Each structure stands twice: as C-alpha cells, then as structure tokens.
Amino acid sequence: MSRNSTLEASSSASDALSSIKTHTQSLQQSSNTITDTITAFQTELLSMYKSQLALLEQTRSLLRFHSAQLAANDGTAEEKYKSSMVKLDVGGKMFHISIDTLLRQEGTFFDGLFSGRWAVKPGVAEDAIFIDRDGELYPYIFNFLRDGDAAALPQSTTQRAQLVQEAEYLGLEKLKQKLLDTAGDRPQIPAHPNNIQCPKCNPTTSNNNILATWNAEQKGYCCLKCMGFWYLKTGSIQVK
C-alpha cells in the first residue's frame, strides 16, 4: 500500500470517528434535554398533585363545616316545628294545641298526620286542619296527651265507652288502657227508680220522662223541676 493510500485511509477513519463522536454528543445532548424535560414535568406534576391535595382538604373542611351547620339548623328547625301551634277543626270544634303535645306518643293518628304521609284536609277556619270526628270528647284526649295519667277522665259510662272507641281510632293505646283499667273506680250510678216522687214537688217519673239528674259527688239525684236534692237510702227517700 502506498503512503498516500495509508494517509487517505487514516484520514477517513479519523473523520468517521469525529462524526461518531459528534453524533454521540448530539445524542447525549438530546438525552439530557429529554431528561431535563421529564424532570421538569415530574416536578410540575408533583406540584399539581400537592395543590390538588390541599384543595381536597379545603373542600373536606368546608363540607364538615356545612354539615355541622345543617345538623344544627335541622335540630333548631325541628324544635321550632314541634313547639309551634296548630289549629285543629274537629267536627266543627276548634282547638289550638302544640305539635309537640300531639306527637308525645308514637304510632298514633297525629304521628301520621304530621309526618307528611297523609293528605291534610283544610278546615272551615283559615289555616285549620280538619279532622272528620265528633269533637265533643277531644278536650279529654288533648288533656291526656298533655298531662298523661293525671288528666281527668269523664265519669259518664256512655262518654267513657265513646272515648275508648275514639282512643282506638287515634291509636292512643295508653288512653284506652287507662280507661279500661279505671272502669271500676267510677262511682256507680243507681238505676233511676220508676214511679217515684220528688219529696218537694211530687213529680211522677218514668223511664221515658226522668225529671232528675245524678250528682256524682253527693251520690244522689237533683229534681230538674224544683232543683231539690234527694237520694235513695234503704229503699226510702232522703231529702237534703
């Protein structure tokens, strides 16, 4: 091989090595650029993740705060609702009573009435709720809801029987049981005598025309004509 050929071969090899070196440097620079880009992206992603975590914690804090407020408001609203007064039209008789009193016993007619499960009928009076029942006995019912066993109950056998039926209708089991348990505690009203005369005005009475009324405290009769009081004792009339 001539000297010239050797020099040319050496020059070509040197150029190739230089080209490879340059290409390698270029690849290294590209690799560094990519690495820097990935690092920057990872840094930005980590920053975004931390920001999202902070935002999520703020959101949770706000939710906890608002949940506590809602719970407090609901409790206050429920207390205000129960303490509010309601107007009831019971068969034409008007009553004003608190919802809290009406809801003292669970599972009753009133519990269903104010739970929203039933359609409410408007009464004759404005803002009144109509209940299609005879309102004559409802003072006893409402007093029992207010005072429990301390409430006074009617002495009349007829009224007590009607009140038992009303308690069954309203689902007031405690009132019904109270009436049944105290049935023997009522003063016994003797049968009104037939063809007996008032000592004062001497009216004749019969089953169809009783001119007297029973006085439970005195355990006697009062003549409705002269208002004289009399009672029976050992078969004879005793005037008082």
| Integer Cα distance of 190 and 30 in angstroms | 119
State the residue range of the domain holding 239.
Answer: 189-240
Which of 185, 208, 232 marks a domain boundary?
A: 185
Q: What is the average pLDDT value for the chain, to the nearest integer?
A: 73
Residues 94 and 167 in one domain: yes
pLDDT at 240 over 80: no
Confidence of residue 93 (pLDDT cuts 50, 70, 90): very high
Give me the CATH number covering residue 137: 3.30.710.10
Confidence of residue 234 (pLDDT cuts 50, 70, 90): very low
Which of 185, 211, 228 marks a domain boundary?
A: 185
pLDDT digits (tens, 9 = 90+) for 139-183: 999 999 999 888 888 888 888 899 999 999 999 999 999 998 887
pLDDT digits (tens, 9 = 90+) for 26-71: 788 888 888 888 888 888 888 888 888 888 887 877 777 667 666 6
* pTM score, whole prediction: 0.46
Q: What angle do CA 162, 164, 170 make, to 5 degrees?
A: 105
Residues paired with 223 in a beta bridge: 212
Residues 77 and 88 in one domain: no
Strands laid side by side in the 128-131 sheet = 93-98, 85-90, 128-131
| Integer Cα distance of 88 and 92 in angstroms | 9
Residues 181 and 210 in one domain: no
Which of 47, 81, 115 marks a domain boundary?
A: 81
Query: Do 88 and 125 meet the contact criterion of CB atoms below 8 Å apart?
Result: no
Our count of domains for the chain comes to: 3
Residues 114 and 67 in one domain: no
Dmax over CA atoms of the chain, in Å, equals 174
Residues 141 and 212 in one domain: no
